[in-house]
Structure 1
Amino acid sequence: MSTSRTDLNYEQRFNDSVDKLMGHGCYNVELIEDFYRIFLAKSDVVANLFAHTNMSAQKTMLHDSLETLIDFSRTKEISPALEKLAQAHGKRGKNVPTYLFDVWLDSLMEALYLRDNSFTDKDELAWRLTLAPGITYVKFICKK
């Protein structure tokens, strides 16, 4: 059994998936709508956190947040955008329980599978590995 370079290189697999699902910085309306439908249905806690949220603005923020998390994975530098994201979700912001970031990520994976019929476990792993450093940073700041 032969393994291709893409199978071994999660960064390339992630980049290919992002290009397919989001284009080069494009806003994928269907993906983001699917994500929020899935995420808000996960629990009353999630639904309550978004009860008085301007969802149009929130959808744009999700796109921007993904870009911020991807950027952190690539640069390994804490940007002002990542710091702002962490603070907005921390105790002085929305005070989001840290376990919800796992629910958020699982919801995103469900939306990715829904939007891309060829999305595989390897693609999911690539997304999770790429987003993990930024999510870990945000969760760390949220605990403080």
Structure 2
Amino acid sequence: MNQTSSQIAHPTYEQRFNDSVAKLVGQGAYNVALIEDFYRIFIHKSDAIAALFANTNMSAQKTMLHDSLDTLIEFSRTKHVSQEMQKLAHAHGPKGHKIPLYLFDVWLDSLMDALYQQDAAFSREDELAWRLTLAPGITFIKFYSGK
């Protein structure tokens, strides 16, 4: 029996995300070009963002971004508030860097821009998979950052 195009199985958003992460981030060491593209895009979004990074050790910051992505992904998969997730929320909240809530959306948009730059085959469906995966962790951070 032949399947019609409407019957062909499509990957779930979880599978689409996992495939994209394997392609763009890999295991272990981070994708230097992706991280550099992200910060170039993010910092140039506004003078306010540039000011936040004016005195930042960018080498350490790039490692923190990689680690933060791992934390957000793990939170999405487990919904367990790990010590790393707590630290991430605290670091961005009122007792930490006091990051304005709107910047989390700019951060995510900048990450998507960097992913599109790194992968010519990156699609709107891939973007949605990334957004759906990172949303729980970003929501958690925003919730505690807004308090």
User: Normalising to structure 1: TM-score of the pair?
Assistant: 0.96
**1:82-119 CA distance string (max 9 Å, x none):** 10001000011100000000000000000000000100
Whole-Å separation in 1 of the counterparts to 2:51 and 2:127: 28
Amino acid across the alignment from 2:143:
F
Q: Which consecutive aligned stretches of 4+ in structure 1 deviate over 3 angstroms post-superposition?
A: none
- Tell me by how many angstroms 1:26 deviates: 2.9
Amino acid across the alignment from 2:82:
S
| 1:113-124 paired onto structure 2 within 5 Å | 113-124=116-127
Matched position secondary structure for 1:78: coil
- Give 1:125's match in structure 2, choosing from 125, 128, 137: 128
- Tell me by how many angstroms 1:4 deviates: 2.9
Whole-Å separation in 2 of the counterparts to 1:26 and 1:15: 16
- Give 1:81's match in structure 2, choosing from 71, 84, 88: 84
Amino acid across the alignment from 2:20:
S
- RMSD, matched Cα: 0.8
Residue 10 (structure 2) pairs with residue 5 (structure 1): yes
Residue 50 (structure 2) pairs with residue 47 (structure 1): yes
| 1:64-103 paired onto structure 2 within 5 Å | 64-103=67-106
Which stretches in structure 1 are left out of the alignment for 5+ residues?
Answer: none
State the identity %.
68
Which stretches in structure 2 are left out of the alignment for 5+ residues?
Answer: none
Matched position secondary structure for 1:92: coil
**1:116-144 CA distance string (max 9 Å, x none):** 01000000000000000000000001011
- Tell me by how many angstroms 1:43 deviates: 0.5
In the alignment, which residue of structure 2 is the partner of 1:26?
Answer: 29
User: Normalising to structure 2: TM-score of the pair?
Assistant: 0.94
Number of positions where the alignment pairs a residue of Structure 1 with one of Structure 2 = 142
Amino acid across the alignment from 1:107:
S
